[in-house]
Every structure is written in C-alpha cells, then in structure tokens.
Structure 1
Amino acid sequence: MDKSKVYYTNFRTTFRENLPQKLKRLITTAGMMEQIDFHNKYSAVKIHFGELGNLSYLRPNYAKVVIDLIKEQGGKPFLTDCNTLYVGSRKNALDHLDTAYENGFSPFSTGCHVLIADGLKGTDESLVPVNGEYIKEAKIGRAIMDADIFISLTHFKGHESTGFGGALKNIGMGCGSRAGKMEMHNSGKPHVFEEACIGCHACEKNCAHGAISFQEKIATINHDLCVGCGRCIGVCPVDAVETNFDESNDILNYKIAEYTQAVIKDRPNFHISLVMDVSPYCDCHSENDIPIIPDVGMFASFDPVALDMACANAVNQQPVMAGSILEKHGSHHHDHFKDTHPNTNWQSSIEHAVKIGLGNEEYELITV
C-alpha cells in the first residue's frame, strides 16, 4: 500500500498571512475542494464544542474557515456533534446548543447552523451495518448519516482512556448516539443510583423493552431485558440512571475504530487536526489543565488513520511543558501519552484501524 499523504503547517504567522488564512491554504493544498464535489451537498463538519468551563477546545474561527470553503464550492455545511453519555452541559440537544453558543459556535460567528445529530435526548440514530469484530451495527447520530459529505475538524489532545483524542476519537465516539456511546464505553448495562431516584417513572414509560420496574418507589433495571439503548439516561430528570464506563481501554479503541468506519465509508470524507493546547484530558472535562507540550501545528489528510499517526509522532517529538502533568509524571517511555496516562495504549486504535482497512499508518508528511 502506498503511503498516505498528510499535509502539515506550523503556527508561525507573517504580516501577510494569519492563522485562518494559513489553515485555508493547508486545506486547499491538501485537495479538499479539488477532490470533493460540494455543490448542493449537505456537508457535516464534526467538531467538539467543548464542555462549559473548558477553554482548550478549538476556537470557532477555525470552523469558519472550513465552513466558508465549503460554501464557496456551493455546499450546504453544518457544524455537528452528538449528545454525551455522561451528565454535563451537553447531555441533551438544548443544553448542548446553549453550550455551543456560549463557547462561540453560533451561525453569526461560523456562517452556518449547529445541528445536534442525535436529537433532543440522544435517541435519534441511524443503524449502520458494520459486521466488525466488536460492532455489528453502529448507532450513529441521524443528521450525520443523512449528510452527503463528512468532514472532521479535531482538537488533538490527550485522553484518559484512549491515550489521545484525535480524528478517530472525534469521529467514532463523537458521532455515536447515546446508545452508541454506551456500546463503546461499557461492557455492561446502566444502573440506578438509588439515593437520587425520585420515583417519577419517566424511565419506565420510555423503556421499550420492559426492563425497568419499581420497588418501594425506586427504579431497578433488569439487565436480562435491557438492550443498552440509553433512553432511561436521557429522560431521567435527576440524573439517577448511570452507566459504568467499564470497558477495557484497548477494546474501547477497537470499537471506536469500527464506529469510525461506519461513519465515513461509502461517502466523501476529509479530516483536519489542530495540535494545539494539547491538554492531558478530553475537552469533555469542564476543566482543562495546562498543555503537556508546546503547540505543534495544523494537519490535514483524506486518511484519518495516517492523520492520527502523524499527529501522535509530532507530539512525541516535542519537549515536555514545564509545570505540566507530564513533567510531574516523568518521561519514561518516549511516549508522552503513555507517560501521561500509563494505563492507556493509543497504538491499539491505530493497529485495529489498519486491520479493518480504515486507513494506513504509513504516511508521507508534506509541509505547506
């Protein structure tokens, strides 16, 4: 297999070219507009809007560059993400939109609308056949699957479970509906935190499989009947239904790769990653610690696997940021992600993605 092309530019600017202009040149040189016909096509641009309180997510200015390029080609772009499985500021579409707007992602700042792909309660999904080793039918936010073209715009950072959060994580986990996220994160089923349950029966009314009953006004879930759809999590008014997040990290990475394949197969796709503000944790955290390395640059490719590999290699070539968690932990493995989160193995996602034919870990880095 020929090496995949990954295009790169640093964050240095001149009086003639600022960062948005530089990102535009990177995307143009990489061939996004040349190789994809955007005319009259719905184009999903997948991005993470950032949990409220987190300030390391990508600025909306970068999203506007991508949106403007698509619109110049006659496309119909929208920014999108799916609701979270955990309780936070993006657990339903209304809170999610409020968070996106507060963090600067409005039609006025980006030039397009924001659509929460899996609907109000995270249950609006498309079932996509995968027939993978771990996933047989991926559950993807419907608006994402309804789009003609898929573009990912990723903030590349560390992650406490997968090692790093790159293009595969942004696509695979990010595009999963609530049931899809549960399938990736858990080896079991949700349970009820009894101390918080108020006995309102909302979960029971919304369970299509008769898995929920009440004993002394407290809900219980029969795991033999439960299918893990996550609807009970979405409808609980007091967040009393919880999930375990107990899947092993390697299998989590395998499932993310298979979900990514479900999202991008059989339609035009392109991927952009910005390696900046490389926080040790995901942007799903309401806090963000100081970066573990200095800012590196912008990367783009038609191959999300090669893109993640190039970004990971670039990060591991950087010095450790003074005062960071990484400096505190020490650099013992020549792998900044492994040293930051010793129980993770980011290589597993790359290896499985290559195994299922999602992309190529061998790449040619082209400096723009």
Structure 2
Amino acid sequence: MEKSKVYFTDMHATLTENLLQKLKRLIKSAGIGQIDFDRKYAAIKIHFGEPGNLAFLRPNYAKVVADVVRELGGKPFLTDCNTLYVGGRKNALDHLDSAYGNGFSPFSTGCHVLIADGLKGTDEALVPVRGGEYVTEAKIGRAIMDADVFISLTHFKVHESTGIGGTLKNIGMGCGSRAGKMEMHSSGKPHVNQESCVGCGSCKKNCAHGAISIENRKASINHDLCVGCGRCIGACPTDAVLPASDESNDILNKKIAEYSYAVLHDRPQFHISLVVDVSPFCDCHAENDIPIVPNVGMFASFDPVALDLACTQAVNSQPVIPGSLLEKRGNSHHDHFKDIHPTTDWNVMIDHAVKMGLGSRDYELVKI
C-alpha cells in the first residue's frame, strides 16, 4: 500500500517569497487542485481563538486558503461551532464578535464567516458513525455537513485533555454542535484536590452548568451537574482541579476520532496544519503561555491521520524553549505532549482514527 504523502515547508522566507506565498505554494504542491471546487461550497474549518488568546492562527493564513479555493472555482467560507463552556464563543453572536475581534472578517479573509451550528448551537445534522465504538450518531454543525468540500486549517498545539490539538481535534471536537461536544466530554468528570485549592473561584466562573461551588475557600464539583468538559482543569491557577483518574481522556480521544469520521466520511477533503506558536493549552483558553518549542513549519495532506502524526513527531524532535511550561514540567516521558499533560495519550486518537479508516500512520514527508 502506498504511503500517505504529507507536504512540508519551514518558516523561512526570502526576498522573493514571503510566508503567505509559501503557504499557497505548499497547498498547491500538496494537490488541493485535484478537488473539484467548481461552484461548490467549501467549508474551511478553523479555530477563531478565544478573546484574549493570541496563539490562534493569523487570519492572513485563512485568506490564502480562501483565495486558492476561489481561484479553483469554489465558494469558501470560514466556520466553527459554538463551545460547550462559557466564554466568547458560546453562541453565534458572541462567536462572530470574537471572530471579527481576532481579525476574521469578510474584509480581511475574502470570505464570509458562518457559525455552523447556528445561533444557540442547536442547528445540527445527525450523522451515522459506522463502526463507532462509542458514537452511533454524531451531532455535527449543519453548515459543515451542507458544504460540498471540507478543508481543515489547524493551529497545531498541545491540548490539556487530548495531548495534541491537531487536525483530528479541530475536526472532531470542533465540528460537534454543543450537544455533540457534551457527548464527547461526558465520559469522565474532574475532581478538586482540596489541599491545593485556594478558593479563587476561577473554576466556578468557567463552569457553564453551575456544577462548582465554593465553601470555606475550597471548591467542590457536583458530578450530577458536571458534564465533564474539563474547562475548569485549565482555568485553575494552582492545578487543583484534576481529571478523573480513569480512561476518560482515552475515551474522549476515541470519540473525537469517531466524530471526525462523521465529518470526513465519503466527501472531498483537504487538510492544512501550521506548527507555529505551539502553546501548552488549546486556543480555547483566553490565557496562553509562551510556546514550548520553536516554530517548525507548515504541513498539508489529504490524510488527516498522517498529518497529525507528522506534526506530532516534528514537535517532539524540537528543543525545549527556555522558560516554557515544558521546561518547567521536565522531560521524563521523552514526549513533549505527555510531559506537559501526563494524563493524556495522543496515540489513542491516532490509533482509533486508523481503525475508523480515516488515514494511515505510514507516511512520506515531502519537503518543498
């Protein structure tokens, strides 16, 4: 069986080619022109960034992709779904405000922005997942399923629940409606280490479901109300909120792979991932730390599994940036992602995606 091809270029520019021109050359070399875009609606799935976060991809990159789709005769739009947690993207109006505030407007990107699951996150398509171990019917933002072509444009980073925040995470979790996100998160629920808790209330402020209370300057989580979204884990400044000590992160990774199957199965697709500003937490966090490794480059492929694996291995081959959270956490696992978030195992998502037929671990890196 032929290896999947993952195309790569570094972040060096020249007097005759800037980074945006380089990205255009990359995706054309990777074969985006093989897709029939003629008068087709093309969803470009991207993370618009939580207000306050500065690690998200610049909208200039999105414009390059949208312009190429237009050149090929397509009708591009940028899209994402509403979030489960409270913040700047929990409904379509706030989400659009956040997107525009971070520079993703029709005037800067050359295409419109659509929130795929509608005003309140309830506009969803129910998509069968054949062979799913945990999901039989995924709840996907309707505009994403209405599109003729699907393109992912991903900021590759570390993720506190899944290990890597790559292409599969961008697709599976990102394309789920609010109910879909709740389904993916519902396998495990966090708890509070009372000795470490200082009662600051950050976890309570970030809980959309009223599951957290503060008594005697200590937080506690009501598991009858908690949906297991994990937002409180990243919000806690003292690391007092801990994930359930079971396989909940593994189940989350598998559900994300199954949701990715729902989005990608039997439709034209193309995937782009930029390994820049590799932050230790997701772009969903209003706060973002300094990158853990130097910028690596830009990757593109028709295979989302091979793309995620190539990006992961590229990050793991990089030196640690002094002063970063990765340096603070150490390198005991010889895996940058697991060193930062020891309870995660990104291999679970990769392996389950292979099992679902989404791609291959066997790839060839083509440098341009």
Q: TM-score, normalised by structure 1?
A: 0.85
Task: Tell me which amino acid in the other structure corresponds to 1:73.
Answer: L
5 Å-filtered alignment, 1:64-103, equals 64-103=63-102
Q: Secondary structure at the match of 1:351?
A: helix
Q: Secondary structure at the match of 1:359?
A: coil
Q: 1:318 corresponds to which residue?
A: 318
Give distance in 2, aligned partners of 1:192 and 1:276.
Answer: 34
Give distance in 1, aligned partners of 2:73 and 2:107.
Answer: 19
Task: Tell me which amino acid in the other structure corresponds to 1:31.
Answer: G
Q: 1:355 corresponds to which residue?
A: 355
Q: 2:219 corresponds to which residue?
A: none
Task: Tell me which amino acid in the other structure corresponds to 1:138.
Answer: A
Structure 1 residue 68, shift from structure 2 partner: 0.2
Q: 1:251 corresponds to which residue?
A: 251
Give distance in 2, aligned partners of 1:336 and 1:29.
Answer: 30
Give distance in 1, aligned partners of 2:147 and 2:243.
Answer: 30
Give distance in 1, aligned partners of 2:357 and 2:67.
Answer: 32
Task: Tell me which amino acid in the other structure corresponds to 2:148.
Answer: D
Q: Secondary structure at the match of 1:95?
A: helix
Q: 2:18 corresponds to which residue?
A: 18
For structure 1, the 5+ residue unaligned runs are 197-220, 231-243
8 Å CA contact 1:79, 1:112 repeated in 2: yes
Q: Secondary structure at the match of 1:49?
A: coil
Task: Tell me which amino acid in the other structure corresponds to 1:328.
Answer: K
Structure 1 residue 193, shift from structure 2 partner: 2.6
8 Å CA contact 1:186, 1:245 repeated in 2: no
| 1:108 and 2:119 are equivalent in the alignment | no
Matching residue within 187, 190, 193 for 2:210:
193
Task: Tell me which amino acid in the other structure corresponds to 2:106.
Answer: P
Give distance in 2, aligned partners of 1:192 and 1:145.
Answer: 28
8 Å CA contact 1:185, 1:245 repeated in 2: no
8 Å CA contact 2:159, 2:165 repeated in 1: yes
Task: Tell me which amino acid in the other structure corresponds to 2:171.
Answer: I
Residues 148/222 of structure 1: CA separation in 2 closer, same or farther (3 Å cut): same
Structure 1 residue 195, shift from structure 2 partner: 9.2
Cα deviation 1:42-99 (Å, max 9, x = unaligned): 0000000000000000000000000000001110000000000000100000000000
The total of aligned residue pairs comes to: 326
Task: Tell me which amino acid in the other structure corresponds to 1:81.
Answer: D
| 1:121 and 2:120 are equivalent in the alignment | yes
Give distance in 1, aligned partners of 2:134 and 2:323.
Answer: 40
Q: 1:235 corresponds to which residue?
A: none
Q: 1:272 corresponds to which residue?
A: 272
Q: Secondary structure at the match of 1:5?
A: strand
**Moved segments of 4+, more than 3 Å:** 188-192, 244-247
Structure 1 residue 188, shift from structure 2 partner: 7.5
Structure 1 residue 320, shift from structure 2 partner: 0.3
Cα deviation 1:6-39 (Å, max 9, x = unaligned): 0000000000000000000000000001x10101
Structure 1 residue 317, shift from structure 2 partner: 0.3
Give distance in 1, aligned partners of 2:95 and 2:105.
Answer: 12
Give distance in 2, aligned partners of 1:191 and 1:40.
Answer: 40
5 Å-filtered alignment, 1:140-151, equals 140-151=140-151
Task: Tell me which amino acid in the other structure corresponds to 2:160.
Answer: E
Q: 1:39 corresponds to which residue?
A: 38
5 Å-filtered alignment, 1:127-206, equals 127-131=126-130, 132-187=132-187, 193=210
Residues 191/57 of structure 1: CA separation in 2 closer, same or farther (3 Å cut): closer
8 Å CA contact 2:188, 2:248 repeated in 1: no
Q: 2:204 corresponds to which residue?
A: none
8 Å CA contact 1:330, 1:339 repeated in 2: yes
Q: Secondary structure at the match of 2:323?
A: coil
Task: Tell me which amino acid in the other structure corresponds to 1:293.
Answer: V
Task: Tell me which amino acid in the other structure corresponds to 1:47.
Answer: I
Structure 1 residue 194, shift from structure 2 partner: 8.0
Alignment RMSD: 2.2
Give distance in 2, aligned partners of 1:315 and 1:68.
Answer: 29
8 Å CA contact 2:256, 2:349 repeated in 1: yes
8 Å CA contact 2:188, 2:249 repeated in 1: no
Structure 1 residue 177, shift from structure 2 partner: 0.2
Give distance in 1, aligned partners of 2:8 and 2:208.
Answer: 45
Q: 2:286 corresponds to which residue?
A: 286
Q: Secondary structure at the match of 1:158?
A: strand
8 Å CA contact 1:156, 1:166 repeated in 2: yes
Residues 159/15 of structure 1: CA separation in 2 closer, same or farther (3 Å cut): same
Give distance in 1, aligned partners of 2:36 and 2:209.
Answer: 48
Task: Tell me which amino acid in the other structure corresponds to 1:118.
Answer: D
Q: Secondary structure at the match of 1:361?
A: coil
Structure 1 residue 192, shift from structure 2 partner: 5.4
Structure 1 residue 187, shift from structure 2 partner: 2.7
Residues 283/195 of structure 1: CA separation in 2 closer, same or farther (3 Å cut): closer
Cα deviation 1:211-243 (Å, max 9, x = unaligned): xxxxxxxxxx999xxxx9x9xxxxxxxxxxxxx
Residue identity over aligned pairs, in percent, reads: 73
